[in-house]
Structure 1
Amino acid sequence: MIFAIICKDKPGHLDTRTGTRPDHVAFLNGLNENGALKFAGPFLDAEGKPCGSLVAIEAEDQAAAELIAAADPYALAGLFESVEIRAWNWVFNNPENA
């Protein structure tokens, strides 16, 4: 099942995001290598600066998705003000259905 991990950064934590980004990218690359990562990218504020994240992953269930989200270096660094994890159905433009 696919889960969308929707994260909102704490205000004023752009330095935390920037400093942790290499570890976060390595984490996502690992998810990608094992087939769990579907897509990912930052939300942007009005100035075009990152202010959150959207990460879509394949996981067995909600509990497994929560473990993956908690292991993200951004989460471990305390970047996020909030994290929402929701089951999601990729209907349109899913490359697996092409």
Structure 2
Amino acid sequence: MLFALLCNDKPDHLQLRLDTRPAHLEYLDSLGDTVKFAGPFLGDDGKPNGSLVVVEAADKAAAEAIAASDPYAKAGLFQDVTVRPWNWAIKNPANA
């Protein structure tokens, strides 16, 4: 089952994001095929202010554990994180 991790940064925490980014990317890479796609949300100024990560997990609790283990979350970057079940209906490579 797929889950969207919708993560919003705390205001004025760009430097924390930048400092933690290498560990965040290493963590996502370590998850292998569990991560389907990911990337930052951008503010009107073009700077990152959150993250969208879509993961495959057995259930919501497992997806929440993935979100909680992210170095960004551990560093206190996120103001809030929402984990929602998601159906990849359009242009899903698994359906090609």
**TM-score, normalization by structure 1:** 0.97
Q: How does 1:15-30 map to 2 (within 5 A)?
A: 15-30=15-30
Q: Distance in 1 between matches of 2:40 and 2:81?
A: 13
Matched residues in 2 for 1:11 and 1:66: separation? Answer: 23
Give the residue type in structure 2 aligned to 1:70: A
The AA in structure 2 aligned to 1:25 is L
Matches within 5 A, 1:68-87: 68-87=66-85
Q: After TM superposition, give the deviation of residue 91 of structure 1 in Å.
A: 0.3
Aligned pair partner of 1:51 in 49, 52, 62? 49
1:35-92 alpha-carbon deviations (Å, 9 max, x no partner): 1000000000001000000000000000000100000000000000010000000000
Identity of aligned residues (%): 59
1:14 deviates by: 0.2
Distance 2:78 2:35 in 1: 20
Gaps of 5+ in 2: none
RMSD of aligned residue pairs (Cα, Å) = 0.4
CA distance in 2, matches of 1:48, 1:26: 23
Partner residue of 1:66 out of 44, 64, 67:
64
Q: Distance in 2 between matches of 1:2 and 1:52?
A: 19
Q: Please identify runs of 4+ aligned residues in structure 1 that moved more than 3 A.
A: none
Name the counterpart of 2:90.
Answer: 92
- TM-score, normalising length: structure 2: 0.99
Q: Distance in 2 between matches of 1:68 and 1:44?
A: 22
Deviation of residue 23 (structure 1)? Answer: 0.1
Aligned length: 96
